[in-house]
Amino acid sequence: MIPGISSPIIGLMGKSGSGKTEAGYIFRELGCYVIDCDMLARDITRPGQQATLDLAAYFGSDILDEEGRLKRHLLAERAFANEENRRMLSQLTHPEIEKLALRIVHTLPRRYESIVFDGAALPESTFIRWCDVCVEITCPRHIRIQRVMNRDLINREAAEKRMDAQKNLDYSCCRFHINNDGEWTPEYMMDALAEVIAAAKTAAASKF
């Protein structure tokens, strides 16, 4: 839970291509407010912002164009080249993402069924201490690779590097694990995520 916020907090996590985005859509249909940490990362890495400058200092100034904008595909290529670089990406961006997330949460106009933080690297951030319940979306590696290739327009080698850079992400904090192998129906996912919301409400209530 977050002090001053009555809505339960859910951590939605899973590796690239697992299907977190689809789960986020369904959480919204169920009355939740979903905060996409990838979108927040874009907000805090605009030209001239501190996180942008820190990324350029670590990954190379050539990840910025002439106007100081991130060349996101080049950053991704370097950040997901290995585990160390992926962790550094998180270290350089998470503090500003967390500040922005808190500002958003504290300005929400009403109470929601739950507030959902959607991010692959949540276990490595302080977001995790806010969560009443966490859920992992899983998916077979070969399906994830194809999804990432199609989504990001990259080749198999680049997609596999991204998978390998995330291999040590620890989702043992998750109480729920939902497999998204393309076979589930919307009704199944609705029921599964409704159960997650119910558990988050129970967990949040026990803290008061």
Q: Is the Cβ–Cβ distance between 125 and 205 less than 8 Å?
A: no
Query: What is the domain partition of the chain in residue ranges?
Result: 9-200
User: What pLDDT, in 10s, does the model give residues 23-74?
Assistant: 999 999 999 999 999 999 999 999 999 999 999 999 999 999 999 999 999 9
Q: Check residue 1 and report its DSSP letter.
A: -
**Which two tokens mark 199?**
């558990």
- Could you give the dihedral angle defined by the CA atoms of residues 21, 41, 9 and 20, in that order, rounded to the nearest 10 degrees? 20
The CATH homologous superfamily of the domain defined by 9-200: P-loop containing nucleotide triphosphate hydrolases (3.40.50.300)
Helix (H) or strand (E) holding 31: none
User: What pLDDT, in 10s, does the model give residues 121-172?
Assistant: 898 888 888 999 999 999 999 999 999 999 999 999 999 988 988 888 999 9
Average pLDDT estimate for 15-22: 93
Q: Is 129 helix (H, G, I), strand (E, B) or coil?
A: helix
User: What pLDDT, in 10s, does the model give residues 180-189?
Assistant: 887 888 899 9
User: What pLDDT, in 10s, does the model give residues 82-104?
Assistant: 889 999 999 999 999 999 999 99
Average pLDDT estimate for 4-8: 89
Q: What whole-number distance in Å separates Cα of residue 203 and Cα of residue 169?
A: 24
Q: b/e map of 111-148 (b: 16 or more CB within 10 Å)?
A: ebbbbbbbbbbbbbbebbebbbbbbbbbbeeeebbebb
Q: Which residues contact 120 (CB under 8 A, 6 or more apart)?
A: 13, 14, 15, 16, 20, 166, 169
Q: What is the pLDDT at residue 51?
A: 96
- Could you give the dihedral angle defined by the CA atoms of residues 11, 138, 193 and 149, in that order, rounded to the nearest 10 degrees? 90
Q: Which residues contact 22 (CB under 8 A, 6 or more apart)?
A: 180, 189
Q: What is the pLDDT at residue 208?
A: 64
The pTM of the full predicted model, rounded to 2 decimals, is 0.92
Asked if pLDDT for residue 207 goes beyond 80, the answer is no
Q: Which of 22, 10, 61 is nearest to 199 (CA)?
A: 10
**Which two tokens mark 27?**
């959480």
